[in-house]
Structure 1
Amino acid sequence: MKLRLFFAFLLAATATAADFDLLITNARIADGSGKRLVSGSIAVKGRKIVAVGEIEGTADQTIDAGGKVAAPGFIDVHTHSEDICQNPVAENFLRMGVTTIITGNCGNSRTDVAKFFQEIGEAKVTLNVATLIGHNSVRKEGMGGIFIRAPDEAQLEKMKALVDQAMQDGAVGLSTGLIYVPGSFAKTEEIIALAKVAAKHDGIYVSHMRSESVKIFDALDEFMRVLRESGCRGEVSHIKLSGPTAWGKAGELLAVLDKARAEGLKITHDQYAYTASSTGLRQLIPDSALEGTREDYLAKLADPKQKADILAKMAEIRERQGRKDYGYAVIAKFKADPALNGKSVAEAAKIVRGSDTLDEQIELVLDIEARGGASAIFHGMDEKDVQTFMQHPLTMIASDGGPRRPGEDVPHPRSYGDNARVLGRYVRELKLLSLEEAVRRMTSLPAQTFQLKDRGMIKAGAFADIVIFDPAKVNDPSTFDDPHHYAEGFTDVIVNGGAVIREGQLTEVRSGGPLRLK
């Protein structure tokens, strides 16, 4: 009797068990390859997609896409998210369809990658998180400070060891920020030595090059030399032309890259869909003034001869870029005086110093750095160049942003709207790209470039990172003046099979985690 009851229970359990954990039906599928949309369903079991197309079977959870587009979760290859554990939900990324981020860009990263990944796992993040190992961070730790000189032999060996350990721990490559101190002090040979270590682990070399203005072609020569001599694949970070004197050269720049590719170099590039950049306001100050400690900087300002040299170099930078003043720079985050957030340097000078003359703007910039520094938005690119770069098939879409908390500071809108802006403005309105091609640039191309195994495609065997959106409603309400608005049009976001956003609502699911280079 007991045996019959057991088999009856087993039969009932077998009969009621669902075939899939999740079934997405009535979707128009953009599979990430760039091929045309096809109608069908997507079945998920555990963390992976198990079937695509016409699917029969039951599921514990069913999402009726209602004719909306289902695509692989977007992969943002250029973020600054070292603080992801302090904001593990990172809702601004999710709301524009991003399910995977790569941090550690522009030379700045956590140097202990194993510890960073452990913290990510403990923080219960919503996203998949990969990281690069940053040259600037490695240089500071390896040399024990910020120095204008080259490292000695022992220091270089320590730097190489830091890169090697980071790659062993799962970093996807090496990044540089060669306009930033102390990376700007490094000679090309130093970069090559470290890139060789990354290449040994099949990592990529990702560079914010030494110039994005009139000297960009020299910077590109250096970038390609690093690739040739190290054996690395290469990624040009946030490809752009900054300042009026550099505008109009996008086609020429892409031609140089295409020629290098034809000669055997493996190069891609990423881009955000805006004509303004964002970085530290200190970029307006010559690097030589920033060597050493804060006390060293204050001493230079107090020395009339050294200050005169700083002012002369600032004038050279303005002239080279075709700038008359600093009205194009807008303060985004200044901890010492948040009332200046959202004000241009000219506006802030008027408030703080009573005048917006160039001299007063300069004094304000120098004083802000002395008081701890600020981040800023720089309106410095031309829309025609942005569109030219976007049309190139090897340009990926990346925000250059980070996790945001609504209402905090006045950040660049790209952290809220970048992917949505591409789909809304450049695909739907301007028809610069097809929807399928835009999705490819956000999914399979990044996955292939950074070797994120089984990511970036809707296919059986791939991880179930999936976004569902209405292409007619995708929009980016975030603006420079009023940035704290989530992207619109994304109804469902799935990360590793878990629905982190369902029917437009954030859930309690936290199915992200660290991604290591395989």
Structure 2
Amino acid sequence: MRKLLTAILLIACTFCFGQQSCDILIRNGRIVDGTGNSWYYGDVAVTGGKVIATGKLANYTATKTIDANKMIIAPGFIDVHGHIEGGIFQWPTADNYIHDGVTTVITGNCGGSSSNIKNFFRRIDSLHPSINVATLYGHNTVRQEVMKRENRLPTTAEQQQMETLVETAMKDGAVGISTGLIYIPGTFANTDEVVGLAKVASRYNGVYASHIRNEESKAVEAINEAIDIGKAANIPVQVSHFKIGGKANWGTSNITLGLVQQARQEGWDVTIDQYPYTASSTNLGVRLPDWAFAGGNDSLKIRLHDPAIREKIKKEMLQQLRKYKFKNYSYCVVANYSADSTYNGKNITEINRLMGRRSKAAQEAETIMDMVEKGGAQMVYHSMNEDDVKFIMKYPFCMTGADAGVPVPGKGMPHPRGYGTNARVLGKYVREEKVITLEEAIRRMTSLAAQKFQLKDRGLLKEGMAADIVIFDDKTVTDHATFEQPHQYSTGFHYVIVNGQVVVDNSKHTGIRSGLALYGPGWEMRNDNDRRRNE
């Protein structure tokens, strides 16, 4: 009898000591851990904002238990191409990203960022948005600060001043620098200017992310320039929103992507990102030649009111249109025109007719110039080909980026990518068209992005990693945002956890704002140096 009681007591003690507690326990899911490996059934335990265990966790209890019911459990998605500098402070719950499974956004792309990275991160840490935020430092931002909108090369002193600003930004936590070489004033810079800035970012283990000079007829030259900058500065390269625009160029993505593949084969760290749509979105001003904007808006207006110069601008616009093999500007749709919101959702051909003008490309060019003079507009350009989109998506080193901000729901007619990018990849291109596998899509959205931008505790569902987690139904996940009705959230993401806090619970945003500022390697290097000096 005594032996039996001892045995029972030992079993009871073993059971007691074997129990472990956690904050959140996710049970009965199919874990896709971000490595690209196949899914497996298991549980995930979270405590203190970290993943503490994965696998079969029968001996765990939790404050909150989530039954994943065979849905996918994955790391939170990392959007590598954002423009949220303004919108995140207006709409800190970032519903468009959260409902699309995104837990981290890298902003500051296309050469435009906050001019003061330290203050930007202070505001993020004070605000606590619902998503994590990392940022690049924009070349256009730094050039504007030093040289305004001058169409010339920098002096030696100006180049040094820009390089000093880049160094400060990297020390303050930027993950790299970005260029927008299609935009003013970045388009006025030559390659050597950018190399000088990239070399500074390289010293702090940053990335060079580029909206290249041309994504259409001169895409080959533009991609080669980005690669050459990476080589000269010894810095990893990210080619932003990789695409081929203009009918004349459709079907040439095998050539442009081949340049990236060749660079990688030669040992250079070149990767790309993409949004899964056949339309781009940028401002209306890109339809005009760059030189028209030199000196700023006042100079632009003077040129537009000079008949001879205006005619020259129009001539170059029409030459560009013919080069792209478009008959008119009907492929250009207004997303947001502050001067007259009734134009939102209409294309330039339609607006031209509303203005009582003839249905000719030359008259549409006049309409564009008039709109630019009145402040311009954000546009959606239907200029790409679905076959190219799919071909680029198959490339294993292609990440996902919405190229979006945080929109105010219901305002304007923004590109639907701001609401549905990740759901569209998972629903249309993984489930329906099987362009890539589920595990591969998630790897691109998580660990590949984290590795590229050195977010060392993100992107994998492993013990010790930050608890950024999405739970979604791969059989129903769907994007609903369209060009006609863009303000629609994705569905299928039942739970989203950011730094161990449940932000989406049973498909509803809880209002919790647990996001953090994520600092780049330069911040760590500066802190390490400070510690050594104080030892």
Q: Shorter-chain-normalised TM-score: which range?
A: over 0.9
1:353–1:18 distance in 2 versus 1, CA, 3 Å: farther
Deviation at 1:359, TM superposition (A): 2.6
Corresponding residue for residue 133 of structure 1: 137
How far apart, CA to CA, are the structure 1 residues paired with 2:277 and 2:491?
A: 18
Corresponding residue for residue 100 of structure 2: 96
How far apart, CA to CA, are the structure 2 residues paired with 1:270 and 1:337?
A: 34
Deviation at 1:354, TM superposition (A): 4.3
Letter in 2 for 1:262: Q
Mapped contact 2:430–2:437 kept (Cα < 8 A): yes
Mapped contact 2:314–2:366 kept (Cα < 8 A): no
Corresponding residue for residue 9 of structure 1: none
Letter in 1 for 2:115: T
Mapped contact 2:238–2:272 kept (Cα < 8 A): yes
1:43 match: secondary structure: strand
1:456 match: secondary structure: coil
**TM-score, reference length from structure 1:** 0.95
Matches within 5 A, 1:81-480: 81-83=84-86, 84-143=88-147, 145-480=148-483
Corresponding residue for residue 72 of structure 2: 69
Gaps of 5+ in 1: 1-13
Corresponding residue for residue 526 of structure 2: none
Q: Deviations over 1:149-188 (max 9, x none)?
A: 0111121111111111110000000100111111111010
Deviation at 1:430, TM superposition (A): 0.4
Q: Does 1:33 align with 2:28?
A: no
Deviation at 1:324, TM superposition (A): 2.0
Corresponding residue for residue 45 of structure 1: 47
Mapped contact 1:18–1:60 kept (Cα < 8 A): no
1:194 match: secondary structure: helix
Corresponding residue for residue 4 of structure 1: none
Letter in 2 for 1:253: T
- Which stretch shows the higher mean deviation, 299-308 or 272-281? 299-308
1:175 match: secondary structure: strand
1:78 match: secondary structure: coil
How far apart, CA to CA, are the structure 1 residues paired with 2:270 and 2:334?
A: 33
How far apart, CA to CA, are the structure 2 residues paired with 1:353 and 1:70?
A: 56
Deviation at 1:257, TM superposition (A): 1.3
How far apart, CA to CA, are the structure 1 residues paired with 2:508 and 2:318?
A: 51
- Which stretch shows the higher mean deviation, 203-212 or 321-330? 321-330
How far apart, CA to CA, are the structure 1 residues paired with 2:186 and 2:326?
A: 25
Deviation at 1:136, TM superposition (A): 0.5
Q: Deviations over 1:359-396 (max 9, x none)?
A: 32111111111111100000000000000000010011
Deviation at 1:290, TM superposition (A): 0.9
2:497 match: secondary structure: strand
How far apart, CA to CA, are the structure 2 residues paired with 1:341 and 1:430?
A: 32
Deviation at 1:316, TM superposition (A): 2.1
Mapped contact 2:41–2:55 kept (Cα < 8 A): yes
Deviation at 1:18, TM superposition (A): 7.0
RMSD: 1.3
How far apart, CA to CA, are the structure 2 residues paired with 1:356 and 1:126?
A: 47
Mapped contact 1:111–1:162 kept (Cα < 8 A): no
Letter in 1 for 2:167: D
Match among 500, 505, 508 for residue 508 of structure 2: 505
Mapped contact 2:76–2:103 kept (Cα < 8 A): yes
Deviation at 1:357, TM superposition (A): 2.5
Deviation at 1:454, TM superposition (A): 1.1
Deviation at 1:227, TM superposition (A): 0.8
Deviation at 1:303, TM superposition (A): 1.2
Mapped contact 2:93–2:130 kept (Cα < 8 A): yes
How far apart, CA to CA, are the structure 1 residues paired with 2:255 and 2:301?
A: 42
Q: Deviations over 1:25-68 (max 9, x none)?
A: 01100000111110000000011100000112211111111111
Mapped contact 1:133–1:163 kept (Cα < 8 A): yes
1:310 match: secondary structure: helix
Mapped contact 1:82–1:104 kept (Cα < 8 A): yes
Mapped contact 1:353–1:360 kept (Cα < 8 A): no
Gaps of 5+ in 2: 1-15, 522-535
**TM-score, reference length from structure 2:** 0.92
- Which stretch shows the higher mean deviation, 310-319 or 392-401? 310-319
* Deviating 4+ runs (over 3 angstroms): 353-356
How far apart, CA to CA, are the structure 1 residues paired with 2:373 and 2:408?
A: 27
Sequence identity (%):
45
2:355 match: secondary structure: helix
Aligned residue pairs, count = 503
Mapped contact 1:73–1:493 kept (Cα < 8 A): yes
How far apart, CA to CA, are the structure 2 residues paired with 1:48 and 1:333?
A: 41
1:513 match: secondary structure: coil
Deviation at 1:405, TM superposition (A): 2.1
Mapped contact 1:330–1:376 kept (Cα < 8 A): yes
